[in-house]
Structure 1
Amino acid sequence: MRILLVSGESSVARIARSLKSANDVSACICGVRSATNRSLQNSLDRIGVACWHSDSLTSDSLPRRMYEAEIDILISFRCPKILPESVLNAPKIGAFNLHTGPLPEYAGLNAPSWAIFNGEDYHGCTLHWMDPGIDTGNIVSASRIPISDSETGISLTGKCVEAGVNLIAELVSLIRRGEAIPTTPQDPSSRVYYSKAVPNSGVVDWSWDSAKIERFVRASYFHPFTSPWGTPAACVNGRIFGILSGRAIQVISGEPGTIAWRGENYLDIATGKGIMRILEVVTDGQPSTVEELGI
């Protein structure tokens, strides 16, 4: 089976490796963000996966190239571009998207971070047919993923990738057995679309309760990689800094945004309900200590 993976994420190498190692997959081709993504390029070279660069993903030549390569299925994973219908129609069997969120409730961008911020107990990963809309195609399969109390944006995204690998493997096995691919319509009345926007424009609101602020910080945490939400910005006593990590403490607090206690390695800030204990910070774009804040 010949598969074209289209993605803007380095983690797609994990999906490619899984597919390549499967006995029923004869070839895997990966379309990546750019020719300068050397780390991903090297990973694909090591597992023998050909690489097409994304400057051609929306060109008129891509469908022809797919026909010539006899692509059976296209699988999109966090693709940085909207693929035209001509590309979606080019595979022999169909085009599918691996979405890191449950559909239709978490369509759009950064679904794992939004799920953490929203205080969900469970998240999910969805494999669906691709159509001209964004995350609107009929569902093939889905997984359910519990969200831990310490979940971060990067950890939940990793769990979605792991679950997604299994969904894709199941799809490939289904095709090889000659069975019909599920096509369950989404309920449009349940659809929620998340754009590039970040909660409160990326700024901590001290009037929020401390649990919500902690979720915001954890949802934004993608270290050592760049967070799609950036580092939550905060201001205390006129000092602006970013919060890398902290935890909520449910005790009686004072005026939101004021210092409740200075510890040796932490700073307690009063919120709308409870205390936010700040443990790691960023100042002037660099990791710093709470002591170095000077407040």
Structure 2
Amino acid sequence: MKTVYMGTPDFAVPPLKALVEAGYEVAAVVTQPDKPKGRGKTLMPTPVKEEALMHEIPVYQPQKIRNNQEFLDTLKEIQPDIIIVAAFGQIIPKEVLELPKYGCINIHASLLPKYRGAAPIQQAVIDGEKESGVTIMQMGEGLDTGDMLSKIVIPLDKEETGGSLFGKLAQAGAELLIKTLPSIEQGTVTPEKQPQESPTPYAAMITKQMGLMDFSKPAAELERLVRGLNPWPSAYTFVNGKTLKVWKSVLGQETSDAEPGTVMGTDAQGIHVACKDGVLILTEVQLEGKKRMEAEVFLRGYHMEAGTRFTDHKE
């Protein structure tokens, strides 16, 4: 079964590695162009490109694949039996979807039809889901609307972060892919259609602005936000004119009738902040220009009195 693999970030690395280890012929890898990073703006390869080069697989990095005749001609020359897509980062046009014998399949990091969209991993944590998983689906022209071919369910830990779930689902996706491919090739897979109506919730693309903490919301909601956006883009607030990233937090046992965003006090556990419903204790933080540290260590060098207010903007 000759495959072409299309993917870009870390999430897409384990499935590619699994394909190679399982003996599948990966004729080509398609990934996003290298991007400049760091102060020197050095061009850095995508994680998938790095993995492909380790296995001496030809890599293609078109700026866009839509309306790209040269890229389409390349695929036609390769004549893949199937194209496997995992977090590639571009919409796959109809002429590519219809090219392979078995079409294009996508490794999507949610239990479809829930959490169609760009950021299903973080959103599942933010929403307090008890489980997530991976769906392998036949790709169509809609966004994550194709027939579902197989699923694997992964329970979420109480302290699950976007980063930890990312790793679990990447590995689960790799295992599910290797289990699913033989049934596609043998024609024994049973596709399951998704509902026509748009299910909720939808997983929109994550932006930095989503991390701004609104303490007029319940403490439990903010605790999930902190975990869901760890490690990127991270939850944050402002104090005394500076940005304070919040890497970890826990729910306090106490109650408060103080104005939301008010520091009730500090102790060895962290910074106790009043919320609309309950108290959130910030246990690991990072002040603008400083290193990430446990709140207890942070407080040794930064005096924060009771009554200090966290705001939603730089004052």
- Secondary structure at the aligned position of 1:167 is classed as helix
Shift of residue 84 of structure 1?
A: 0.8
- Secondary structure at the aligned position of 2:84 is classed as strand
Unaligned runs of 5+ in 1: none
- Secondary structure at the aligned position of 1:194 is classed as coil
Shift of residue 45 of structure 1?
A: 2.0
- Give the structure 1 partner of residue 45 of structure 2: 38
- Secondary structure at the aligned position of 1:180 is classed as coil
- Contact persistence 1:120–1:147 (CA under 8 A): yes
- Give the structure 1 partner of residue 235 of structure 2: 232
Identical counterparts, % of pairs: 24
Cα distance in structure 1, aligned partners of 2:87 and 2:208: 21
1:208-246 Cα distance to aligned partner (Å, 9 max, x none): 222211110000002xxxx1xx22121346654121112
How many equivalent pairs are there? 287
Q: Which runs of 4+ in 1 moved over 4 A?
A: 197-200, 236-239
- Give the structure 2 partner of residue 182 of structure 1: 190
Instruction: Say if 2:213 is the partner of 1:204.
Output: yes
- Give the structure 2 partner of residue 161 of structure 1: 170
- Give the structure 2 partner of residue 27 of structure 1: 26
Instruction: Say if 2:261 is the partner of 1:257.
Output: yes
Whichever residue aligns with residue 7 of structure 1, its letter is G
Trace 1:1-295 onto structure 2 (pairs within 5 A).
Answer: 1-23=1-23, 25-35=24-34, 36-38=43-45, 40=47, 41-55=49-63, 57-58=65-66, 59-176=68-185, 178-189=186-197, 191-192=199-200, 193-196=202-205, 201-222=210-231, 227=232, 230-236=233-239, 240-255=243-258, 256-264=260-268, 266-284=270-288, 286-289=290-293, 290-291=298-299, 292-295=301-304
Cα distance in structure 1, aligned partners of 2:289 and 2:225: 19
1:65-88 Cα distance to aligned partner (Å, 9 max, x none): 112112111111112111111111
- Contact persistence 2:119–2:206 (CA under 8 A): no
Cα distance in structure 2, aligned partners of 1:251 and 1:65: 63
Cα distance in structure 1, aligned partners of 2:61 and 2:263: 51
Relative to structure 1, the CA distance from residue 169 to residue 285 in structure 2 (aligned partners, 3 Å threshold; closer, same or farther) is: farther
Whichever residue aligns with residue 275 of structure 2, its letter is T
- Contact persistence 2:8–2:88 (CA under 8 A): yes
User: TM-score under structure 1 normalisation?
Assistant: 0.89
Root mean square deviation, CA, Å: 2.2
Shift of residue 199 of structure 1?
A: 9.5
- Contact persistence 1:247–1:277 (CA under 8 A): yes
Which region of structure 1 is more displaced relative to structure 2, 29-38 or 282-291? 282-291
- Secondary structure at the aligned position of 2:255 is classed as coil
Relative to structure 1, the CA distance from residue 185 to residue 199 in structure 2 (aligned partners, 3 Å threshold; closer, same or farther) is: farther
- Contact persistence 2:4–2:82 (CA under 8 A): yes
Unaligned runs of 5+ in 2: 35-42, 305-315
Cα distance in structure 2, aligned partners of 1:174 and 1:42: 29
User: TM-score under structure 2 normalisation?
Assistant: 0.83
Relative to structure 1, the CA distance from residue 37 to residue 57 in structure 2 (aligned partners, 3 Å threshold; closer, same or farther) is: farther
Whichever residue aligns with residue 54 of structure 2, its letter is R
